[in-house]
Structure 1
């Protein structure tokens, strides 16, 4: 008989049991469910809502159940519906009527709201560790490539020369913001809903603050209706995860392009590449492609939970059971992608010569040539027009700007002198951009140091 079956005259149809059950996916919250129940039982005893000896027996037995689950000694039952009922049923089977006292003053509604918050708080901490590992790898790559010049792009057209270190540190900033978003999400998640009951709290004199303190929550929810029906924290987390995946996907797209023969900027290590079943020469960047593909999967989880929640009246509705598969899959996907992506970029070969050769083409020093004329006293718009004509001339004569003779330069402006060759060299183009946030070596070193300080601050939290 179901623990809630007193009002019913007929047993639930087996197909309904299967349809209604969530144990196949919410069983992963067993630890959080038991820890929450231990804190609840401890509070019930302290507040004299149940006898102290019953409270202590419940706590001790729950700890034994946790140990048995972790040792693989317990199989969960589908007809017990979910992890909460499974744990309670096991508890009652072991200590009888004393176990029936555990659910005093709470509902599955506030119980599941507690469990999912606890579970996702732990997952946020794990994902942050993975992001920090990725950030460390980006810093390591950057430190080794402070002088590696490649073209920066806009519209996927060669634009201006930068360094590979500067490019990698751009991604560092993206993942830094991701970590910050997870921190913010954690703050709003770290609010304890137990005590909200089914929707209207309870008549028992619960000490909600005690339970919050026992479980490491900063605050308690301030409205019982909201406490059981709020899933903003799930939507916010899957939004954060979607942005993480978007950043990984953008990075993957560049790596896929860069590893093509047409670019040849990087080559993936054999351990992070695959071949073709028919074409023996192929070396495919499948890891990067799969990360790019799995991004859509996480986006799907975001749309799924938004759609589930969009029209639900207060308070709890069974629709909300659908929140877990979406968020669990999103968490699992991000945790699957981050470590393998980190190792992929840590082991990839960087073809510095190809990068430099690409930066020499495409007139990436054209802006610097215009700036050269500006420094000679020509208004920028006039300089822009002059260099546009110079580029057109170079295209027609199959030359780079720095391959022009002084006589050819003079045809465009008599102000151009021999110093132009140094001023428009790739090295000068990069080092001259010495503003905070720019690609000059000393500025990238500053960015790397700030990155290290950020990582240290996260580790010390």
Structure 2
């Protein structure tokens, strides 16, 4: 038995070396990353077996003692068998050497690799999700802080990459804050469907052993069960699909944010720049300041678009009980690594961002970006239909551009000419009043609706998201505390039973 590291010699004989090289060995890095989750799942399972007299106290105590020894070694100290890509056989091999095959072989009582691996995956991703939730919360705090600081910093707004209407940099940042707020909400919903216990599902139909599934769930800090035994195994992996979908959406949002900052940091825009420490230069062009941090985020966001199709393709096997995901690459770890990188980089970019305030203010007033306000005032003062006012102002802007007149030299005479041609009457607004209507600051101050770019409203939005963030923080603290308490109880009970 000791030489049978794959637990299959009796049925299949020795493994082909090609399969070992290109399948088994490929899984070992992912197993090492999940080492802590594997040890917790094994400890919870054995504690439950002993508590319910499925495993006698003497054997169970010896088994728990050795499992605690494995956990103490850690992934770095554990003597891995290089040829095996299964943590079950890795641990059983160690247990056989340290407490004998009779005891080691009882670890899998009432359990299959199907529910074991599913349980490990849920534990592993649960912890990663809480980590990413904390990182995203940190990013949102930085965004809110900068948005309040720049609540009244007027800048040009763009649609179709053309000047649209002015807004403030604070208003732009609050848009990003609300987007990431929804990402946090999605993560919370995902967590509720991830933090469920799979243990006890066995191979696919349950087991004849009287396992206490609720006890193992409590020992691991889960908030419920994956009830159906087949659903509890590795066959129904929709929580992985949902996880990758949620993370992909977040990465897409990060990528769009990074792209805005990337474009605005170019010399042609010169609205902002990232800190020197987050940039790089050229090997030949000494003047270059390349925004490496933003480029890294953009590239990771682009690659994230392929995560969900990769996972869903693996789920579309011949039957719903196929296990293609088990044999594929570790998409979950790769995805969470990318998310961690992107979140930490973006948080630092926002924290250290250099904003060219004078350039933003200057660019906000150019190229007729406040023309819609003139149309609104015509409707308000002269009771024109908005579409007529829209045509009048459109004709006025066209004539002004053709005459080479900038916004600062806007002519009420030219506006009257457009009104006479389209509406059959003159407006007689006057140059000073017209130019005030076209002033970017006046435009921003005239915004009165909830969610607008008015600086007072930007601050109110920041207060709202800050309150939401406080609720999220409390949720995070409670979830982490629940897990810590459960795992503390698990280790306490494991040590107690191992000494009995």
TM-score of the aligned structures, taking structure 2 as reference length: 0.88
Taking the TM superposition and a 5 Å limit, the aligned residue runs for 1:63-212 are: 63-69=68-74, 72-96=76-100, 97-212=102-217
Shift of the 291–250 alpha-carbon distance from structure 1 to 2, 3 Å rule, reads same
Cα deviations by residue, 1:98-145 (Å, 9 ceiling, x for unpaired): 222111000111100000000000000000111011101101111110
Cα deviations by residue, 1:281-332 (Å, 9 ceiling, x for unpaired): 1111122112111123222222211111112414253x22145611111111
Cα deviations by residue, 1:6-33 (Å, 9 ceiling, x for unpaired): 5325211222222331223222111111
**Is it true that 1:330 corresponds to 2:335 in the alignment?**
yes
Deviation of the 1:455 alpha carbon? 1.3
Taking the TM superposition and a 5 Å limit, the aligned residue runs for 1:209-228 are: 209-228=214-233
Higher mean C-alpha deviation, range 214-223 or range 39-48: 214-223
Cα deviations by residue, 1:225-259 (Å, 9 ceiling, x for unpaired): 22211111111111111111111111111111101
Higher RCO (C-alpha under 8 Å, 6+ residues apart) = 2
Contact 1:148 1:165 in 2 (8 A): yes
1:266 matched residue in structure 2: 272
Higher mean C-alpha deviation, range 338-347 or range 118-127: 338-347
Contact 1:373 1:415 in 2 (8 A): no
2:455 matched residue in structure 1: 441
Taking the TM superposition and a 5 Å limit, the aligned residue runs for 1:12-411 are: 12-21=15-24, 22-69=27-74, 72-96=76-100, 97-228=102-233, 229-317=235-323, 319-322=324-327, 325-376=330-381, 377-411=383-417
In 2: Cα distance, 1:396 partner to 1:423 partner? 21
In 1: Cα distance, 2:329 partner to 2:221 partner? 22
Give the secondary-structure state (helix, strand or coil) at the position aligned to 2:42. Answer: helix
Give the secondary-structure state (helix, strand or coil) at the position aligned to 1:160. Answer: coil
Cα deviations by residue, 1:321-359 (Å, 9 ceiling, x for unpaired): 145611111111111111012101211210111111211
Contact 1:148 1:163 in 2 (8 A): yes
Contact 2:274 2:354 in 1 (8 A): yes
Shift of the 221–316 alpha-carbon distance from structure 1 to 2, 3 Å rule, reads farther
In 2: Cα distance, 1:271 partner to 1:460 partner? 34
Deviation of the 1:87 alpha carbon? 2.1
Contact 2:153 2:169 in 1 (8 A): yes
In 2: Cα distance, 1:320 partner to 1:164 partner? 44
Contact 1:33 1:115 in 2 (8 A): yes
Deviation of the 1:5 alpha carbon? 2.1
In 1: Cα distance, 2:401 partner to 2:12 partner? 87
1:456 matched residue in structure 2: 470
Shift of the 407–131 alpha-carbon distance from structure 1 to 2, 3 Å rule, reads same
Contact 1:373 1:416 in 2 (8 A): no
TM-score of the aligned structures, taking structure 1 as reference length: 0.96
Contact 1:221 1:227 in 2 (8 A): yes
In 1: Cα distance, 2:413 partner to 2:99 partner? 98
In 2: Cα distance, 1:330 partner to 1:14 partner? 30
Shift of the 176–406 alpha-carbon distance from structure 1 to 2, 3 Å rule, reads same
Give the secondary-structure state (helix, strand or coil) at the position aligned to 1:419. Answer: helix
Contact 1:249 1:295 in 2 (8 A): yes
**Is it true that 1:416 corresponds to 2:429 in the alignment?**
yes
Where do 5+ consecutive residues of structure 1 fail to align?
Answer: none
Shift of the 310–31 alpha-carbon distance from structure 1 to 2, 3 Å rule, reads same
Shift of the 15–323 alpha-carbon distance from structure 1 to 2, 3 Å rule, reads closer
Deviation of the 1:459 alpha carbon? 1.1
1:432 matched residue in structure 2: 446
Shift of the 39–406 alpha-carbon distance from structure 1 to 2, 3 Å rule, reads same
Contact 1:195 1:206 in 2 (8 A): yes
Deviation of the 1:399 alpha carbon? 2.1
Higher mean C-alpha deviation, range 152-161 or range 300-309: 300-309
Deviation of the 1:365 alpha carbon? 0.7
Give the secondary-structure state (helix, strand or coil) at the position aligned to 1:445. Answer: helix
Large movers: runs of 4+ above 4 Å: none
In 1: Cα distance, 2:136 partner to 2:328 partner? 24
